[in-house]
Amino acid sequence: MLQFDEVEQSGLTVVSRPVCKKEEQPGVIYKMLIERGYLSEQQLVYAKRVYAKLPGDRTLVQVLQELKYITPEQLQDTLSESEIDLKIGALLVELGLVTSADVNQAIILQRQSAARKTIGEVLVENNLIEERSLLEVLSYQLGLPYYELEISRVDAHLLRKVPPKSYRLHQFLPVGRTDGKVTVAFVDPLNRESLDAAEKIFGKIKPVICSKTDFREILEAIEREAAHAGISQLDEKSVVGMVESIIEEAIKSNASDIHIDPMKDRVRVRFRLDGVLVHQRDLPAQMGPPIANLLKTMSKADQDAGGQHQSGRIDFDEIRTEGATAFRVSFFLTVRGEKIVLSTLSKKGLPINLNEIGMYPKMLDRFKIDALDLPHGIVLVTGPARSGKTATLYSSINYLDNVGASIITIEDPVENLIDGIAQCSVDPAQNLTFEESLRHALKQDPDVVMVGEIRDRFAAEMCVQTSLIGRKVLGAFHAEDGIGGIIRLLNMNIDPFLVSSTLTCVVAQRLLRKVCPSCSENYEPKPMDIYRLGYRLNDISGAEFKAGRGCPECRFTGHRGRVGVFELLFFDEQIKDVIVNNKSSYDIRRIITETSGLVTLFEDGIMKAANGVTSLQEVLRSLPRAGRPRPVTELSRILGAGL
């Protein structure tokens, strides 16, 4: 039941406001304020009454100050000079800045983190408290002023006393000199080593507390300036070390791509992790050209080909890191210099199992029996870039590989070495084009030919002709889905009869981020989620949706790793008839959808979300939707998903 009251005293007015239910505060600080004579019992009772009626996030301490019962100086005096047996988490709860639940969550995250972090750092990193509020409380508790760092307030003369790396190591910056003492801003003023280092450098110091975020930003600006001044001393050894360091970090992080971007004042390095670009580090702008030259040497690109886009490959034995890894390297000219992207290729000898790519049991069985086990025909794998097409092709080749089969692959470039399979890497400079390689491959008496990417009409026609002479052909093809793959082939002016008589199966696929297993929890779909899926409430009966809360293991994204989502289109007589009769793209899509009973990408994604493998948000964000999906229980039966 809402209660209303009217209070007016000492300039603070509360009129007709509902009583807000707020967390009960223990009162240790307020008892100490009373003991020191700064506050009376009657004032505290009245302030609590006002506090209970105020909406918003004001704390009891703020109410006491607004009522002019205490001053900031009195609060600081109480916190800094009294013997307070409160840890920072309890103190923040006492002041009403966080809840006990927030502190408990921070303690759990602190224990899970490999890095040694304070409770305050964990609270700030997870947006449970603003950094400024935390620092103000710390300044009260430690009796040290809070100092707002700005580049213009840093004393340049004092700054030059030691190199920037010393400031990064000890986490402090000198900001000025007053009364014979140097004012030094510390990220952690309780760190004895940092205090000793500052006193050794500057003599008598006056410590103040500063924001870690401000410290990092200003130090990075100082380091960029120092790097600019000393770039003339940049040698080959330091560039090689930097490149090897970036590559090693990418391998350890399981990054699929490394992006090296030239910016106005720096070189930005980003990694693509689980399909999302993540900022890794910044380098001085002057390091861009020497890094580009080194990578061109490693990838055997032409360093003298100025004004041209280029590409190359860093072979396995060129990288001195654990786990032999290869990279495809692309150099793209921009107005600020060369943008470089290194795409990670599969590790040498990496086993690829078709049973592990993410297909549900019944879909996988049909793919093996009605597509891969047939002696001839074309199997197309479609999808946009970075959708896992190559992994599916390699898994299929690995499934077909046996002592009685002759298998040839034509790729640009070869991404994964498989012993016993003849693999050709396309190189137009040496006249090793897709067309020329495929023509000569047929003279090698192959049973299976894999084409890394079917790019044009000529390559498509060669694949059709290869199938017509009794060979099995596997190829990657850029298309939105299975039906889109058929339509694109027809738009290349490939004879409809040849398309219908040679195509066995079209696999469309995507990669979705998986829910992080370390922090997954049950997720109750919201009405808007159900509406966007095209469902009614009873259509998701039996589903167990999950979502990631966020933890250090997943970089607080709630997702870790990726899973394939598939759509398989097989060619029965009815579908062949539609293609041969040269129907419009609209008719082809409508008839196939109505008669083939195929499980769409969207439906397969829904099943993976219903089994808690991925999140509903990933499905809605990443997958194309065509028509209303079937209920979850029906999809589970069709796919053998075991819901």
CATH code of the domain covering residue 545? 3.40.50.300
Check residue 619 and give its pLDDT: 93
Find the domain containing 216 and state its range: 151-221
Task: Check whether residue 104 and residue 136 sit in a common domain.
Answer: yes
For the record, the structure tokens of 108 come out as 């759990």
Beta strands 12-15 and 6-9 are antiparallel
Q: What pLDDT is attached to residue 55?
A: 65
Rounded CA separation 620/605 (Å) = 9
What's the Rg (C-alpha) of the chain? 32
Residue 549 and residue 577 in one domain: yes
For residue 452, the model assigns a pLDDT of 85
Taking alpha carbons only, the member of 266, 443, 474, 513 closest to residue 379 is 474
- How do strand 377-382 and strand 472-477 relate by DSSP bridges? parallel
Q: Are strands 559-570 and 503-515 parallel, antiparallel or unpaired?
A: antiparallel
CATH number of the domain encompassing residue 239: 3.30.450.90
Boundary (domain end) residue, out of 202, 221, 240: 221
- 30: helix, strand or coil: helix
pLDDT at 11: 39
620 and 493 within one domain = yes
Q: Is residue 582 one of the residues assigned to a domain?
A: yes
What type of residue is 587? D
- Are 182 and 127 within one domain? no
Whether residue 429 sits in one domain with residue 290: no
Q: Within this chain, do residues 266 and 284 fall inside the same structural domain, yes or no?
A: yes
CB-CB neighbours of 389 under 10 Å: 24
The span from the CA of 222 to the CA of 228, in Å, is 10
C-alpha 342/C-alpha 330 separation (Å) is 7
Residue 521 maps to a domain = yes
Is the same domain home to 446 and 550? yes
Distance CA 225, CA 203 (A): 26
Question: How far is 598 from 584, CA to CA, in rounded Å?
Answer: 20
> What are the structure tokens assigned to 625, written together?
């939707």
Q: Residues 223, 227, 233, 237: is their CA dihedral positive or negative? A: positive
Q: Give pLDDT, residue 306.
A: 61
- Residue in 587, 584, 626 with CA at minimum distance from that of residue 491: 584
Residue carrying the six token digits 């293991």: 553
Do residues 569 and 588 make contact, with C-beta atoms less than 8 angstroms apart? no
Residue 227 lies inside a defined structural domain of this protein: no
∠ CA 223-124-110, nearest 5°, is: 100
E-strand spans in 457-524? 472-477, 503-515, 520-522
**Looking at the structure, do residues 396 and 517 belong to the same domain, yes or no?**
yes
Whether residue 226 is contained in a domain is answered as no
CA-closest candidate to residue 33, choices 88, 93, 94, 90: 94
Identify whether residues 163 and 90 lie together within a single domain.
no
Q: Element (H or E) spanning 73, and its range?
A: helix 72-81
pLDDT along the chain (643 residues), means of 10: 35 36 55 85 86 70 83 74 61 72 80 72 77 76 78 76 82 86 87 88 88 84 67 61 86 88 88 87 84 87 73 66 70 89 69 84 93 92 88 91 89 80 82 81 90 85 88 89 83 86 91 92 90 89 90 84 92 80 72 76 94 93 85 91 77
Q: Flag whether 146 is in a domain.
A: no
Q: Which of 199, 221, 243 is the last residue of a domain?
A: 221
Last residue of a domain, one of 318, 344, 370: 344
**Number of domains making up the chain:** 4
Which 3 state secondary structure label does DSSP give 564? strand
Sheet containing 448-451: order of strands: 422-425, 407-411, 448-451, 472-477, 377-382, 503-515, 559-570
- DSSP assigned state of 427: B
pLDDT at residue 13, rounded to an integer = 36
Tell me, yes or no, whether 366 and 505 share the same domain: yes
Question: Are 635 and 489 part of one and the same domain?
Answer: yes
Instruction: Write down the pLDDT at residue 339.
Output: 93
Please indicate, yes or no, whether residues 28 and 113 belong to a single structural domain of this protein: yes
- pTM comes to 0.60
